[in-house]
C-alpha cells in the first residue's frame, strides 16, 4: 500500500480536513466485557471478528487503537489459528484502568478505512461506555498519526 501524503499540504502528518476526507470508520465488533476481560491482561475476541478487523492469518501484531478522545493506545493482538483464539494483550489492562472500564461495559472495535487504498489493519478505534459516562465525542479530524509511517509487512 502506498504511503499517504496530504495532497493539499504535502506533509507527512494528516491535517484535520484531509483525515476527514480520506478516512472512514466502520464498526465491526461490539463486545460486552466480563470479569476476566476487565481484570486480566487480555481480552478475547472471536476469530471471525479479527478477520473482519483485517487480521486474516495467525501471528502477533502491533496495533494502534484510538479512543473517543483520540488518545493513542498501542497494544498487541495475538491470532492463534490452531486454538481458534484471538486476544488483545499487552496494553489492554492499562487501557481498562485508565478509562475506568467496568464489568458489563460494552466496547466497540472499528477499523479505519483509507478511502484510497482500503483497510489499514494496524489502525483501530475503540469506543466504550466509560466515555459515555463522561461524554466526549470522537473526532476523526484529530487523528494524531503519521500517514507516511510504513506498515509492517505482517499487518
Report residue 10's pLDDT band, with 50, 70 and 90 as the boundaries. low
Report residue 135's pLDDT band, with 50, 70 and 90 as the boundaries. very low
User: What CATH code is carried by the domain that includes residue 20?
Assistant: 2.40.330.10
In a domain, 76, yes or no: yes
pLDDT at residue 124, as a whole number: 63
In a domain, 154, yes or no: no
Q: Say whether pLDDT at 96 is over 80.
A: yes
> What is the number of other CB atoms lying within 10 angstroms of the CB of residue 125?
22
Domain count, the chain: 1
Phi, psi of 57 (to 5 degrees): -140, 160
Per DSSP, what are the bridge partners of residue 86? 45, 79
Amino acid at each position: 500500500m502506498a504511503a499517504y501524503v496530504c495532497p493539499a499540504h504535502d506533509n507527512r502528518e494528516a491535517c484535520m480536513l484531509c483525515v476527514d476526507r480520506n478516512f472512514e470508520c466502520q464498526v465491526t465488533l461490539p463486545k460486552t466485557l466480563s470479569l476476566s476481560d476487565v481484570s486480566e491482561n487480555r481480552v478475547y475476541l472471536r476469530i471471525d471478528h479479527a478477520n473482519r478487523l483485517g487480521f486474516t492469518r495467525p501471528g502477533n501484531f502491533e496495533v494502534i487503537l484510538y479512543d473517543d478522545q483520540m488518545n493513542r493506545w498501542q497494544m498487541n493482538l495475538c491470532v492463534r489459528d490452531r486454538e481458534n483464539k484471538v486476544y488483545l494483550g499487552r496494553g489492554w489492562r492499562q487501557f481498562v484502568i485508565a478509562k475506568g472500564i467496568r464489568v458489563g461495559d460494552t466496547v466497540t472495535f472499528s477499523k479505519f478505512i483509507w478511502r484510497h487504498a482500503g483497510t489499514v489493519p494496524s489502525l483501530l478505534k475503540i469506543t466504550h461506555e466509560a466515555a459515555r459516562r463522561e461524554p466526549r465525542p470522537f473526532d476523526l479530524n484529530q487523528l494524531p498519526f503519521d500517514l507516511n509511517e510504513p506498515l509492517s509487512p505482517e499487518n
